[in-house]
Chains A and B, each alone.
Chain A
């Protein structure tokens, strides 16, 4: 391929000009695409400070008269505040418990027993689409008399995130040098103490990855609460989004304020923990 190329090699000046043009084209394309990615966010933030009429008549103009009441209305009248707290509670508690029990399991699987069978058993869930086990989970929760409780949502969120967490953490823990652990054991630490004082702190990067991944997938989830919850006091923010559409479709200012509330926490987390979020959300792909 190179002969032809070399023969046609343009002069240095031409090359520099061509490179400049290519660069401009690249940037124009990237700016356009990135703009398309940011636009819905900016649009909903902008619209959430406008009256419904202003959104309708001038959808792409910044607010002329700032309307501040959309957020209080969405928070109280449309109950988005309550849903916000419920979602935060489920997501935080489920993620917190997951962050304790999945490293415990991963430590046994990866370092104590070094069992392939256990590893296979725990990671089997990665291949199972949630939908297939959702209905039986609902029946199972009904038999335990925990349907329509906060507990049922939290348990299901822990269970559905366990496979991926153990998959990521076991890999991570295997890479921790053996010497550190041996030194602790020689010093007279039991397994439990070794785990909590050596392995757990050293696993922080892995824990950050599974923690952000679990929190995001819990926060964003829609199908589990849709099936498990009918009590409106327990509902989550994605169900609130569905309610906004049903009850307030004519009030675009309030609706967009509700949408902003629904994505604000995950966007903030993304801005703070960008690398962990990206690692977590693409971790499944490594396995394929």
Chain B
């Protein structure tokens, strides 16, 4: 390549990169740096700031509220892992075995994924509301009136009432990923298993799960990183309440930084989401990856 061409390529490249580079650097890269910096200060969003090193993190570690919301976030993580993986895998396996209706079922199961969490959040608020909700109505009409609860205002149930709709809504992602993976298993393997008379259970445990192991690991990582980011449903359905009984980590961030004007402290709360996600992803990959180098 001649020098003139190379120079022309450089000019061209800078010109073509510039718009995205500027926006991305300003609002993503630069802001990560700012976030890290703010967590080391006592800034309120306006006025002077003092450098306080790790004081925010230490305060946070001693704060009972923070551990309540962290527990709530991890309840969502656990529910997502325990429900979305087995059920998503089962649905994917069943659908891979049928011929008629395949497209319809696939489309229906994925549909909830595409709509705003806020909309489903409000919808489930209506369903689950204590005296007028359709869910309690349903319980009563099938003779389970004794199980009626004020789901969203009872601190014992609120977190589940907020978390389970989200688990339901995003199950489609796991389902679709597992479906694609099952369909990529060579047909002969499945066929010969069926000819041998292997039961579905054996096909599942001896063929599908081992072959899909790496994909299942990705599924679990998605559960963790996705669930730790949850915010919308909690804020729409209960404002994190009663008290903070159904608040996630991000809800506490919002309450401190925006409602409480404690900007640096709120940013510190948000930073812990990043820390948990990164630590989990790295450790999890280390533990399960067959060849840890080929990332």
Which A residues have a C-beta under 8 Å from some C-beta of B?
Answer: 1-2, 5-6, 8-9, 22-23, 26-27, 29-30, 33-34, 36-38, 40-41, 43-44, 56, 59-60, 101-102, 104-105, 107-109, 112-113, 118, 121-122, 124-125, 127-137, 139-140, 155-156, 158-160, 162-163, 166, 190-192, 195, 216, 219-220, 222-223, 226-227, 237-238, 241-242, 244-245, 252, 255-256, 259, 262-263, 266-267, 269-270, 274, 277-278, 281-282, 284-285, 288
CB distance from B118 to the nearest CB of A (A): 4
In angstroms, Cα B177 to Cα A163, docked, is: 21
Q: B138 — which chain A residues lie within 8 A by C-beta?
A: 59-60
Residue B206 at the chain A interface, CB threshold 8 Å:
yes
Determine the residue in chain B with the shortest Cβ distance to A52. Answer: B132
A29 close to B94 (CB less than 8 A) = yes
The residues of B that contact A30 with a CB separation of less than 8 Å are 91, 94-95, 98, 101, 105
Residues in B whose Cβ lies below 8 Å from that of A263:
115-116, 119
The distance in angstroms between the C-alpha atoms of A133 and B267, with both chains bound, is 8
Contacts of B119 in A (CB 8 A): 238, 241, 259, 262-263
Q: Which residues of B contact A274 (CB under 8 A)?
A: 107
Q: Which of B20, B34, B114, B125 contacts A104 (CB 8 A)?
A: B20
- In the complex, which residues 187-246 of chain B have their Cβ closer than 8 Å to any Cβ of chain A? 196-198, 200, 202, 206, 217-219, 221-222, 225, 228-229, 231-232, 235-236
Contact between chains at A34 and B122 (CB < 8 Å) = no
Task: Taking A60-B134, A132-B35, A132-B273 as given, write out 13 further A-B residue pairs in contact, using a Cβ cutoff of 8 Å, ordered by the A residue number.
Answer: A29-B94, A30-B95, A37-B109, A105-B16, A131-B229, A135-B35, A136-B30, A159-B23, A220-B118, A269-B114, A270-B111, A278-B110, A281-B176
SS of A interface (majority): helix
Q: Are A162 and B95 within 8 A (Cβ)?
A: no
B26 and A159: CB pair below 8 A?
yes
Q: Does B185 contact A (CB under 8 A)?
A: no
Cβ contact within 8 Å between A105 and B115: no
Residue from B91, B101, B270 in contact with A132 in the complex, judged by beta carbons closer than 8 Å: B270
- Asked whether A1 and B229 contact (CB < 8 A) given A34-B109, A191-B8, the answer is no
Determine if B116 and A238 form an interchain contact, defined as CB atoms under 8 angstroms apart.
yes
Contact A128 B28 (CB under 8 A): yes
Instruction: Write the B108-133 contact mask toward A (1 if CB under 8 angstroms, else 0).
Output: 11111111111111111110000010
Q: How many A-B residue pairs have CB under 8 A?
A: 261
The answer, yes or no, to whether B173 is at the interface (CB within 8 Å) is yes
How many of chain B's residues have a CB under 8 angstroms from any CB in A?
Answer: 93
A282 to chain B, nearest CB (A): 5
Most chain A C-beta atoms within 10 Å of own C-beta, residue among B16, B232, B235: B16
Instruction: Specify the main secondary structure of chain B where it touches its partner.
Output: helix
Q: How far apart are B208's CB and chain A's nearest CB, in angstroms?
A: 14
The one of B27, B196, B229 in contact with A160, judged by C-beta atoms closer than 8 angstroms, is B27
Q: Are A5 and B111 in contact (CB under 8 A)?
A: no
A37 in complex: contacting residue of B112, B225, B263, CB < 8 Å: B112
B278 touches A108 (CB 8 A): no
B24 interface residue per 8 A CB criterion: yes
Q: Mark B1-44, 1 if CB is under 8 A from A, else 0.
A: 00000001100110011011101101111111011001000000
A232–B45 Cα distance when bound, in Å, is: 23
Known pairs A34-B105, A267-B111; A129 contacts B273 (CB<8 A): yes
Query: Which 10 A-B pairs have CB atoms at the shortest separation, nearest pair first?
Result: A159-B27, A136-B34, A136-B31, A238-B118, A34-B108, A220-B116, A133-B31, A263-B115, A59-B134, A288-B218
Q: How far is the CB of B235 from chain A (nearest CB, A)?
A: 8
B206-A105 in contact (CB<8A):
no
Cβ contact within 8 Å between B258 and A37: no
Q: Shortest beta-carbon distance, A96 to chain B, in Å? A: 13
Contacts of A44 in B (CB 8 A): 123
A133 to B32, CA, bound (A): 6
